[in-house]
């Protein structure tokens, strides 16, 4: 469900900040000696991460279909001597590493699913895979970097398994399916089947966990730079479905019909005022977009109905509820003015706001800065969505971005996530694994 970072807004932010990086005076539990041990282990596993990433990239699997990827992950974790659960919340995998000393429980998360995108990167390991999506055969591509996320967490798992005896506590490695949103529909009772993070939570993946960390790779930050912010980081999202019903007839006699296409067009324009005129965007930004309109079968036939699909993005729950109400009222009222009828439905996919708690953010920054050599920076809010937010509803969670534009490409001009041209700099795989391992160790050692 993740959408690309805005390269323009980030570039502006970098210019305004003068390329200065964030810092924190709070002392971390992880020290330079501990990071050196992590670094040595990460260096040793780096070639494996590249191989894993390329293998997964060549064999992408859609949301809820990550069977091969899950098997690869589970076999790796078992070889590391972990307690491994498979089939968690669908195709999810959870590996549990119990340290040699008693202590807290922390989790690290990576998503595994790919997208229905035809790859156009020209890479020697480019995907040629196809799969069934909504009843159609579609090309499949890792266009959002989840192949890299999986490889990095597999690498971090190997690094931390090698430090097992010294770890004061337990680390859970959560490999999640269906982050991009499974194609689910409500059942006969109106209940939406759980998927992704929510399904894993319901299956007990967060049992005993006290904090969780996750990252997302992006080509729209400078290579090797972490972008984060405290509080709302990524928007909550709600799917919008609007049906406009009229009365069909001959295109030559529109007065004898109630034209749902004209009414739907007016609804689309009216929805633009929800953000521009009806919400107090001085508090938080919001986005309403209609991305699909379907109606009619022939040039001279006015249809009976039109269907519109769209998305709402918000950063505040009260504003979200207000927007849902305003969208409904606006669509219904405008359609009624034309003699038509609009019905509005939200979901079945709805993600909460991805919010980094201030306390966990501040406590984690020293170790993150140490692991990144100080290359961390506060970034603007991101209107894309992430179901890592579901984990954050249950336990404190910290989510951040890692810049990895392909070599030779400027981050502001690199193809964004979800593009058929999306690619990464594989040299950043060790960087991501290092940061995840460092955060986990720091959390366990921190009092």
Going by their DSSP bridges, the two strands 286-294 and 305-314 should be labelled as: antiparallel
The strand pair at 301-302 and 249-250 is best described as antiparallel
CA distance 303 to 290: 20
b/e burial code for range 407-420 (CB count within 10 A of at least 16 → b): eeeebbebbbbbbe
The 10 Å Cβ neighbour count of residue 403 is 26
Of the candidates 208, 241, 254, the residue with the CA atom closest to the CA atom of residue 107? 208
Annotated binding-site residue? 216? yes
Using an 8 Å Cβ cutoff, are 127 and 60 in contact? yes
Q: Distance (Å, rounded) from C-alpha 264 to C-alpha 306?
A: 7
Q: Is 250 annotated as a binding residue?
A: no
The residues annotated with a catalytic role in the active site are 351, 426
Sheet holding 168-176, edge to edge: 83-88, 92-98, 168-176, 101-111, 211-218, 397-403, 226-228, 376-378
Quick check: bond before 216 cis, omega within 30?
Answer: no
Any binding-site annotation on 307? no
Residues in the chain, overall count? 447
400: β partners: 215
The CA distance from 187 to 218, in Å, is 36
Give the annotated binding-site residues for Mn(2+).
144, 146, 180, 216, 418
Give the annotated binding-site residues.
144, 146, 180, 216, 418
């Amino acid at each position: 469900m993740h959408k690309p970072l805005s390269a323009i807004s980030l570039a502006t932010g970098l210019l305004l900040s003068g390329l200065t990086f964030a810092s924190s005076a709070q002392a971390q539990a992880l020290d330079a000696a501990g990071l050196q041990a992590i670094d040595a282990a990460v260096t040793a596993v780096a070639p494996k991460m590249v191989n894993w990433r390329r293998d997964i990239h060549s064999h992408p699997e859609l949301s809820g279909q990550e069977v091969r990827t899950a098997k690869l992950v589970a076999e790796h974790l078992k070889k590391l001597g972990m307690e491994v659960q498979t089939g968690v919340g669908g195709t999810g995998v959870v590996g549990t590493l119990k340290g040699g000393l008693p202590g807290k429980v922390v989790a690290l998360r990576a998503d595994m699913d790919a997208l229905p995108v035809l790859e156009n990167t020209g890479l020697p390991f480019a995907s040629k895979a196809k799969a069934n999506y909504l009843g159609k055969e579609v090309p499949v591509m890792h266009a959002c970097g989840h192949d890299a996320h999986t490889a990095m967490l597999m690498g971090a798992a190997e690094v931390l398994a090698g430090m097992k005896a010294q770890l004061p506590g337990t680390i859970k490695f959560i490999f999640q399916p269906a982050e991009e949103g499974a194609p689910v529909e409500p059942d006969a009772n109106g209940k939406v089947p759980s998927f992704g993070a929510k399904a894993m939570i319901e299956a007990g993946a967060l049992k005993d966990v006290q904090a969780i960390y996750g990252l997302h790779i992006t080509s729209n930050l400078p290579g090797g730079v972490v972008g984060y912010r405290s509080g709302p980081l990524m928007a909550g999202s709600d799917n919008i479905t609007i049906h406009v019903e009229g009365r069909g007839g001959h295109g030559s006699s529109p007065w004898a019909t109630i034209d749902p296409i004209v009414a739907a067009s007016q609804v689309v324009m009216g929805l633009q005022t929800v953000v521009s005129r009806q919400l107090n965007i001085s508090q938080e930004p919001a986005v309403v977009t209609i991305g699909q309109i379907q109606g009619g079968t022939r040039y001279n036939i006015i249809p009976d109905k039109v269907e519109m699909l769209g998305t709402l993005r918000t950063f505040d729950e009260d504003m979200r509820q207000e927007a849902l109400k305003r969208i409904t009222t606006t669509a219904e009222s405008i359609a009624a003015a034309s003699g038509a009828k609009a019905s509005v439905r939200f979901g079945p996919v709805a993600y909460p706001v991805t919010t980094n708690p201030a306390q966990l953010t501040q406590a984690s920054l020293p170790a993150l800065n140490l692991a990144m050599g100080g290359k961390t920076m506060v970034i603007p809010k991101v209107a894309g969505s992430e179901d890592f937010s579901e984990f954050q509803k249950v336990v404190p969670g910290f989510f951040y971005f890692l810049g990895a534009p392909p070599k030779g490409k400027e981050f502001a001009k690199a193809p964004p996530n979800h593009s058929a041209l999306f690619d990464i700099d594989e040299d950043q795989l060790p960087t991501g694994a290092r940061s995840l391992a460092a955060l986990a160790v720091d959390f366990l050692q921190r009092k």
